[in-house]
Structure 1
């Protein structure tokens, strides 16, 4: 199973970004320290990354799977390039990859 269920945006202030969406639309915000916040909107959760060392240069769409290792094999077999090795984060593990057209995405699971 693969489904898009998360998008991560670079931000100069994860706190300010989260607070904006809470005030503007009433969405639930979960801060994970001063540099990261999740925002839960109907049907999608998205995050704001304010740590410059961890930010992607563009929004990062993430794909959920039940098997991270199998997803990596599928990505590489289809011509994708892993750009960030699997790592843990609050909620699971993920890796980043670049598809042949140049866009970076991520695959994650709740391991």
Structure 2
């Protein structure tokens, strides 16, 4: 049984929290700080810092690699989250239905990643 994800999997800057990520956090990360709605972790392998959203009943949790510790709890990961939504769902052949938008819609949705995320509140 695999008890953690591969080291190579952490090559991205953002992940949806799932059981594999939780297992890797437990094995390979040290909790450094907690502020507001976030936890700060340090990766034991390469000493990078990562932020985890604290659980909230109806919110998607993200695990985000930080470029800096300056105001780490204020870091805006919106663009990374939008990119992850696109990467996860992929584009369809249909255009976004939002007025004046020419971007392709996401698979299974009528909206592009920006409008799905910002206007519809779709995070995953």
User: Could you tell me the TM-score, scaled by structure 2's length?
Assistant: 0.30
Higher strand proportion: 1
Q: Tell which has more relative contact order, 1 or 2 (C-alpha 8 A, sep 6+).
A: 1
User: Could you tell me the TM-score, scaled by structure 1's length?
Assistant: 0.33
Q: Considering only CA atoms, is the larger Rg found in Structure 1 or Structure 2?
A: 2
